[in-house]
Amino acid sequence: MIVFVSGAARSGKSEAAEVCAIRLSCGGRLHYIATAQAVDEEMTERIRRHQERRAAQAAHWTVWEAPFSSREIAASLRPNDVVLLDCLTAWLAHELFSGESWKTDATAQATARRLLDGVRAWDAACRAVVIVSNELFSGGVPDDPGTFRYMKTLGSLHQQLVAEAAAAAVVECGLLRVKKGRWPR
């Protein structure tokens, strides 16, 4: 089962996704796939806050930090496990801009298919995959071709994942609004 959570930066989507993953765990292990990389002081602080929040929760998380192998994660999963991917936005950015993938639509779409295949492999191997992703599309179309290609690719990934998801929600100002399916209780 895929559960998709989106929202603006600092909207509360990570906390909502963590609660959802814990509810879905039912005795299985929790895997936290952390895609952010500490590239500056602000990101280092955000990562620290996420780590503190996870440590304060009753649940124990197995943390996979970027860069990671999707196959290695899939091979480690058991049927009752739950995966939390936080977040798709950063994962795609790292994968897309680490090489030449951003230069053409074809290579960007190949990168997106590879990420989607990774999520599907996790989904096939465990109870649930909870995906967090930023909503980037309310600010208009960027002038930069690489950024525009990234946003198009992310939008396509969002649509594909929501189509396959059992539940999808948007978090705004800390409030969760379910857009598809039933939210796990």
Asked if pLDDT for residue 11 goes beyond 90, the answer is yes
Q: In this predicted structure, what is the pLDDT of residue 136?
A: 83
Q: For residue range 51-85, what is the model confidence (pLDDT) as tens digits?
A: 888 777 767 889 998 888 999 999 999 999 999 99
Residue 152: inside a domain? yes
Joined tokens for residue 141: 């179309």
Question: Catalytic: 50?
Answer: yes
Residue 134: inside a domain? yes
How does strand 175-180 pair with strand 167-172? Answer: antiparallel
- Give the domain CATH number at 171: 3.40.50.300
Q: For residue range 12-64, what is the model confidence (pLDDT) as tens digits?
A: 999 999 999 999 998 899 999 999 887 889 888 988 888 888 777 767 889 99
Q: In this predicted structure, what is the pLDDT of residue 125?
A: 98
Please state the domain count of the chain: 1
Comparing 8-17, 100-109, 148-157, which segment has the lowest mean pLDDT? 100-109
Residue 20: inside a domain? yes
Catalytic residue among 50, 60, 94, 158: 50
Asked if pLDDT for residue 101 goes beyond 90, the answer is no
Q: In this predicted structure, what is the pLDDT of residue 58?
A: 63
Residue 119: inside a domain? yes
Binding-site positions read 7-14, 34-36, 65, 86
CB under 8 Å to 168, separation ≥6 — which residues? 3, 4, 5, 6, 162, 178, 179, 180, 181
Residue 185: inside a domain? no
Asked if pLDDT for residue 143 goes beyond 70, the answer is yes
Structural domain range at position 140: 2-180
Binding-site positions for GTP read 7-14, 34-36, 65, 86
Q: In this predicted structure, what is the pLDDT of residue 40?
A: 87
- For residues 87 and 134, give the distance between their C-alpha atoms in angstroms, rounded to a whole number: 8
